[in-house]
């Protein structure tokens, strides 16, 4: 009987010791790593200088309103320089002006039957050496480091993040955009265009959650359909 009681006492002592150790280390096992970098806090040095002349600010002025957006230079020929932006920036086509630094020019729509499902439209300005087309890449995957570059509310902006999802129709990323970023570019670390930013997902308080971009594959298909050769 005494051996039985001793065994029980020993087991109880071990149990109490284990519980005590678990209580002591509980906060250490489950404490948040405050040093972790969340996708929206990613910082990375991108050489955006190589695409500075491949981005424009777009102002569309109609009799009823003025829309401000961004655009990406994708091609040129003997007569015109071609720029892509979102179709919803030009819901009603008015007087379209594109600017980049000291450059300013009127623009016209290449195709009036706009693809509103894809939400992309092509503009053209008189051929200029000031604007330089960006390179386009169809090589991207989830977790790639990317950056949005454009003119939300008319102000030049660069935001880094990660590609978080890819579907048949879009790229989702944590590279933040803001209102007025429509038509801005989503670039990889080599400053190649992988997407055209078209919108964002927000929560019930209208706070940004994710960026939605048109895939470069669809951009190239659209441009080829218009007989426009992009830079690859």
pLDDT at 78: 94
Size (the chain), residues:
232
- Give the domain ranges of the chain: 1-31, 33-232
User: Closest Cα partner for 79 from 128, 23, 9, 152?
Assistant: 128
- Local structure of residue 231 (DSSP, 8 states): B
Dihedral of CA atoms 7, 12, 17, 23 in degrees, nearest 10, equals: 160
pLDDT at 208: 86
Task: Name the class of domain 33-232.
Answer: mainly beta
pLDDT at 41: 57
CA distance between the termini of the chain: 86
Q: What is the 3-state secondary structure (H, E, C) of 115-130?
A: ECCCCEEEEEEECCCC
* Regions of the chain where pLDDT drops below 70: 1-44, 112-116
DSSP per residue over 15-65, as a string? HHHHHHHHHHHHHHHH---TT---GGG------GGGGGGGEEEEEEE-SS-
pLDDT at 32: 30
pLDDT at 11: 52
pLDDT at 203: 83
pLDDT at 26: 30
Report strand pairing: 193-202 vs 185-187: antiparallel
Bridge partners of 36, per DSSP, are none
What is the gyration radius of the CA atoms in the chain, in angstroms? 26
Say how many C-beta atoms besides its own lie within 10 A of residue 103's C-beta.
13
Q: Sign of the CA dihedral 63, 155, 146, 128?
A: positive
pLDDT at 52: 93
What is the model's pTM? 0.80
Rounded CA gap, 26 and 31, in Å? 8
Convert the pLDDT of each residue in 33-67 to its tens digit.
333 344 455 666 778 889 999 999 999 999 898 98
């Amino acid at each position: 009987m005494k051996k039985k009681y001793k065994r029980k006492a020993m087991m109880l002592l071990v149990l109490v010791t284990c519980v005590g150790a678990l209580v002591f280390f509980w906060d250490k096992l489950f404490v948040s790593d405050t040093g972790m970098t969340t996708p929206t806090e990613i910082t990375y040095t991108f050489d955006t200088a190589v695409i500075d002349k491949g981005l424009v600010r777009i102002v569309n002025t109609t009799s009823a309103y003025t829309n401000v957006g961004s655009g990406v230079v994708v091609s040129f020929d003997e007569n015109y320089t071609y720029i892509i932006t979102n179709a919803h920036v030009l819901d009603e086509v008015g007087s379209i002006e594109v600017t980049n630094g000291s450059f300013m020019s009127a623009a016209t729509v290449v195709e009036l039957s706009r693809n509103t499902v894809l939400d992309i439209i092509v503009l053209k300005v008189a051929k200029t050496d000031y604007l330089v087309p960006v390179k386009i890449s169809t090589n991207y995957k989830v977790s790639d480091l990317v950056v949005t570059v454009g003119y939300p509310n008319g102000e030049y902006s660069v935001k880094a993040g990660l590609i978080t999802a890819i579907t048949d129709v879009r790229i989702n990323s944590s590279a933040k955009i803001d209102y007025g970023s429509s038509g801005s570019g989503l670039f990889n670390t080599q400053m190649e265009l992988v997407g055209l930013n078209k919108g964002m997902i927000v929560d019930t308080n209208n706070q940004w959650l994710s960026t939605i971009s048109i895939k470069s594959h669809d951009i190239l298909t659209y441009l080829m359909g218009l007989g426009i050769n992009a830079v690859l």
